[in-house]
Chain A
Amino acid sequence: MLVLTRKSGESITIDNKIRVYVVEIRHNQVKLGIEAPPNIAIFRTELLEKIRQENIQAISIERATLQDLVNKIGKNKKKDNKNNHGTD
């Protein structure tokens, strides 16, 4: 990993296409500004990582669990329909 030290207002340039600015440093937070071409996606790393982990969990499917959930949704729908009927 390349590690550079920058002061507020300074920047680094990646591949002549992406520029990362240190916009502000306050307390223990750094505000970064990123200029990049529109075909580059930029995310907070932990968001991407959380989604990756969620997908890995989602892949282990127990068919019985799915069936159980389907049944519970069915029950909820019946309950809602029952509540929607007016009194005679």
Chain B
Amino acid sequence: MSVAITTSKIEINSARWGKLLVDPDDIIEFPRGIIGFEKYKKFAIFESQDFKPFQLLISVEQENIGFVIINPFNFCPDYKPKIIPLDLKELNIQNGDRFLIYAIVTLAPDSRQSTANLRGPIIINLKKRIGKQVIIPNEEYSIKHPILPQANALN
């Protein structure tokens, strides 16, 4: 007799994004939460062709808690964040492990003035599904880095 095992998806009803389905295996643990939102420890990433290149990082515990995120290399191809050993340890990143880097986006009423936080990126250990918002020592990167080149933004 064969048994089919299906992981039932978790449903998140977001007022803003509608019904979202998450596979429990895709949930990322944030042991320290996100800065300012430390009590939310479980997040999932959602993407859609509709808002590419952006993605959403949404709490599976409280659907109002969500962030627009973006891969910073999209607009800062030379981004070189220094990640301190303490953070690598908390993320359980060992030599050679791959990790994802995202920046949290702050939308502005004039969308052209929207910025991304390159000083406090989100680092995700994909294999172990652990995430953290780290603060990098690089003083050359800003908390409010413009997403659109400001020259173009004037058009």
A, B: real partners: yes
Q: Which residues of A contact B (CB under 8 A)?
A: 38-41, 43, 47-48, 50-59, 61-63, 65-70, 72-73, 76, 79
- CB-based A-B contact count at 8 angstroms: 99
Beyond A59-B37, A69-B148, A72-B111, 14 extra complex contacts between A and B, CB < 8 Å = A41-B86, A47-B119, A51-B117, A51-B133, A55-B120, A57-B106, A59-B64, A61-B68, A67-B51, A69-B107, A69-B111, A72-B148, A73-B53, A73-B147
Given contacts A43-B135, A65-B108, A69-B147, contact A55 B36 (CB under 8 A): yes
> Is the C-beta of B93 less than 8 angstroms from some C-beta in chain A?
no
Contact between B152 and A50 (Cβ–Cβ < 8 Å)? no
Checking A47, A62, A69, A76 against B152 with a beta-carbon cut-off of 8 angstroms, the contacting residue is A76
> Which residue of chain A lies nearest to B17 when distances are taken between CB atoms in the complex?
A63
> Is the C-beta of B19 less than 8 angstroms from some C-beta in chain A?
no
A38: chain B residues at CB < 8 Å are 85-86, 89
> Which residue of chain B lies nearest to A64 when distances are taken between CB atoms in the complex?
B111
Contact between A70 and B50 (Cβ–Cβ < 8 Å)? yes
20 interchain pairs, CB-CB under 8 A: A38-B86, A38-B89, A40-B86, A41-B135, A47-B119, A51-B35, A51-B117, A51-B119, A51-B120, A51-B143, A52-B36, A54-B143, A55-B104, A58-B105, A61-B107, A62-B107, A65-B108, A65-B114, A66-B107, A76-B148
In Å, the complex CA distance between A4 and B13 comes to 52
> Is the C-beta of B42 less than 8 angstroms from some C-beta in chain A?
no
> Which residue of chain A lies nearest to B139 when distances are taken between CB atoms in the complex?
A47
- Between A47, A53, A54, the greatest number of chain B beta carbons within 10 A of the residue's beta carbon is seen for A54
> Is the C-beta of B65 less than 8 angstroms from some C-beta in chain A?
yes
B98: chain A residues at CB < 8 Å are none
Contact between A51 and B135 (Cβ–Cβ < 8 Å)? yes
In Å, the complex CA distance between A22 and B54 comes to 45
